[in-house]
Chains A and B, each alone.
Chain A
Amino acid sequence: MDMPTPNAAILARKSLIATRLRGVLPADAVITDPAETRAYECDALSAYACAPMVAVLPRTTEEVAAVLRICHEEGVPVVPRGSGTSLAGGALPTADCVILGVARMNAVLETDYDNRFIRVQSGRTNLSVTGAVEADGWFYAPDPSSQLACAIAGNVAMNSGGAHCLKYGVTTNNLLGVTLVQMDGTIVTVGGPWAETAGIDLLGVICGSEGQLGVVTEATLRILPKPEGARPVLVGFDSNEVAGTCVSDIIKAGLLPVAIEFMDRPCIRATEAFAKAGYPDCEALLIIEVEGSDSEIAEQLARIRDIANRHNPVEFREAADEDQAKRIWLGRKSAFGAMGQINDYMCLDGTIPVSSLPYVLRRIGEMSTQFGLDVGNVFHAGDGNMHPLILFNANKPGDLALCEAFGAEILKLCVEVGGCLTGEHGVGIEKRDLMKVQFSGVDLEAQLRVKDVFDPKWLLNPAKVFPLDVTESRRAG
């Protein structure tokens, strides 16, 4: 993975830049000691690491603006960072950059149940947003699996999803407004505690822009009343194709489960060996969760059972109580850990039309043989968001490169069947060089023009999302 050569002229001015930053931030908010900046050298894509020149930890929107103004004047690239849980390298620094961490900005600013929103500083973690309202019976819907640690800032930057977004949508569908600081220090308020923005939907393009358009310091989020209850069922099938058809039939019948998760045999076996959740040894397994009162849950599950039975499941297991519900989820929730127990793994995130599921899984199996690397599939089946986990050995020379080549082929396949490179993790550096597979030059140029407007000097997270050759002239300018 190439990153631009650090700018020697910037590195030479490190102490001057740090001094200027100390002029606008408290002393403990500017970190320059290499022993400490190392803490920011990578995110959850830990195969790539590079300590930043300086790390800053502002506490307010005004401090963020002051930092960005200085970096803008000095021509220093800035990499915004939430909690550093990106799986795509979204917060990977360059050696000549200032890392701007929002972790200290974690306050709840306003909670309004009458108008169904909460306004928070963007460093607040996803789960603690729900934590702030759940005692009163509310929750914040997007639930990425890193929700204990990940920050709203990162959720907005990556337009994060989660297992339950089949019903509730992803971040962009639950985001009402932001305070954004542009690279030149301009503070912009977009949207607010009302249903939709007026005019051109800037909020819509800010969400998912991977920290390249500005630093989001505050977010107004839609909150929802908690459902009365939820219950999962587990359904096993002896073929991926049949499981895929069952998913399609459930959706077509108008049932709206909050989640439909899919695991294939390699993943089931790995998970069983690791977590012993008692899953059946079958080709494909669905975990379907429905919500509502007891009677509503029963009504939905009866319908799901009818549909599943038409496809001769090898197992249909309803959770009779909370404990059984936890056991049904146990394997799914341990899937990543289970695969990690076997070997290092790379987690992909392509999305495909649900109808292509059997074909894509078959092709992945063939490629697995061809590359000589094992792969297990976990899948948000309801919306076609795949998470193939490719196993490799990081200590074996060449294995990472082989794994990346295999991953690239899977993502190309996703695009080929009408899907996309990334459904919820973001492009970052990981999928950056594959963007030309999905987009023409004109398509990419249209996106670059958006950045030209928000950040004309291309200083914010500049080496991400787009292939370096495509952005070279802009980054140099």
Chain B
Amino acid sequence: MQPATEVELAEYVRAATGPLAIVGGGTRAIGAVVGQPLHTAGLSGIELYEPGALTLVAKAGTPVAEITARLASERQRLGFEVPDLRAVLGRSGTSTIGGVVASNASGPRRVQVGGCRDALLGVRFVDGRGEVVKNGGRVMKNVTGYDLVKLMAGARGSLGVLTEVSFKVQAMPEAEATLACDCDAAAGLADLRKALASPFDVSGAAWINGRALLRIEGMAGSVAYRAERLRALLPGWQQATAEWRDVRDVLPFAGRAGSLWRLVVTPTAAAEIVTRLGGEAIYDWGGGLVWLLLPTGCDVRAVVGPRGHATLMRGKDAVAALPPELPAVAALTAGLRAKFDPRGIFNVEGAR
């Protein structure tokens, strides 16, 4: 089913008699979901764009590419750097902005400006009763009532079907520079930490393919200044060119066999976790995000322990894709799902 309007979508949800699998572009879903596909692609289009206020409102099914192009025409962008995971997850399809929000997908610049959830100003969604709920809005500061906007970001459709999202956007910088150093991961991460503890406002801090990378963006003079200061701080680092897209989209692991894990951890724990598990790793966010390619069947979560959480992005492991929650958190999460989707019809996990 592909409703053409929010009203139609709400009616469809109200009338549903069984589970619904919500699909944006089908490029980011993880785990196995059962039910009748409910496509949001029919709800498409940018509804409001005010470059001078840095705000954009779009229907949830709007292709990310359309939004990116429109923003680029005003030299603006989504600051949190939307990852394109199609290659690494082996998907085709057109990524939608609703899917980005539902999975709270954020790229390397998260380390500087925050993630998708931080840029998200407002949502409209259809809950499990088929009622249209709005929360937040299109202004940068808003503490009016509970922040359901954050709840919806990353809920993977379990609380409702997003129909409209609004964002704070960012001006593209005048200049960008990358610094690099060939080194092992442990040494590279130590340098990244030094850079992130400096006042030089790093907008990317990664280790990939045997190289540690730092990115700085901003006005031309400022970028030159900070690049010089960082090189003084970090012996052995040089100006370089690098495809940050490789980090953002995890491209080195595209088409590779094995299980792909996404670990969000305390940065200083990252290297040790990877050493214990083996496999190949790409580190982003100064070590706070680890993409780990492993053989099937590794007990990743036992090694991560209380130092963060691990999501199985693709693989045949006999575990849930999403990390288990502590009992008190699980009780609250289940309570919210029961309230927002009392019939339990949204994105029900099926047999793997």
Contacts and interface: CB of A to CB of B under 8 A. Distances in A.
Interface of A: 112-116, 137, 158-159, 161, 165-166, 169-170, 172-173, 182, 186-190, 192-205, 207-209, 225-228, 248-249, 251-256, 292-293, 295-296, 299-300, 303, 351-355, 380, 382-385, 418-427, 431, 435, 438-440, 442-444, 446-447, 449-454, 465-466
A353 B53 contact: yes
Nearest to B150: A204
A254 B174 contact: yes
A196 B104 contact: yes
B148 A190 contact: no
Contacts of A225: 196-199
Contact of B332 (A166, A169, A454): A454
B179 interface: no
A355 B50 contact: yes
Interface in B292-310: 306-309
Contact of B52 (A195, A251, A380, A422): A251
A75 B186 CA distance: 54
B252 interface: no
B100 to A, nearest CB: 14
B171 A252 contact: yes
A353 B139 contact: yes
Interface stretch (B61-69, B235-243, B333-341): B333-341
B148 A446 contact: yes
B75 interface: yes
Contacts of A438: 144-145
B127 interface: yes
A427 B143 CA distance: 8
A278 to B, nearest CB: 30
Given A172-B147, A201-B151, A355-B52, A450 B133 contact: no
Given A194-B288, A353-B53, A354-B53, A421 B144 contact: yes
A195 B322 CA distance: 16
B153 interface: yes
B39 interface: no
Contacts of B306: 192
Given A172-B150, A200-B158, A201-B154, A300 B219 contact: yes
B323 interface: yes
A343 B196 CA distance: 48
A420 B139 CA distance: 8
Contacts of A439: 134, 145
Contact of A201 (B75, B104, B127, B174): B104
Nearest to A299: B221
Contacts of A209: 146-147
7 contacts: A196-B264, A199-B155, A208-B147, A248-B52, A252-B51, A254-B172, A453-B335
Given A114-B267, A196-B264, A447-B148, A169 B114 contact: yes
Contacts of B117: 196, 201, 204
Interface in B129-179: 131-135, 137-151, 153-155, 158-159, 170-174
Contacts of A425: 143
Contacts of B94: none
A228 B173 CA distance: 20
Interface string B316-337: 0000001101101100110111
B148 A420 contact: no
Contact of B153 (A201, A228, A446, A447): A201
B85 interface: no
B115 interface: yes
A188 B106 CA distance: 26
B102 to A, nearest CB: 11
Contacts of A384: 53, 139-141
Given A383-B141, A422-B144, A424-B143, A199 B154 contact: yes
A296 B337 CA distance: 49
Contacts of B340: 446, 449
Contacts of A205: 146-148, 150-151
A440 B133 CA distance: 8
Nearest to B135: A443
Given A252-B171, A435-B145, A353 B55 contact: yes
B222 interface: yes
Given A201-B154, A207-B147, A447-B148, 15 more contacts: A161-B143, A182-B328, A187-B328, A196-B154, A203-B150, A208-B147, A251-B171, A353-B53, A355-B52, A418-B138, A419-B139, A424-B143, A438-B144, A439-B134, A444-B145
Given A299-B222, A355-B50, A447-B146, A195 B288 contact: yes
B194 to A, nearest CB: 9
B59 interface: no
A199 B146 contact: no
A227 B141 contact: no
Nearest to B141: A423
Contacts of A256: 171
The winner among B104, B117, B143, B196 for most chain A CB atoms within 10 A is B143
Nearest to B284: A195
B112 to A, nearest CB: 10
B193 A114 contact: yes
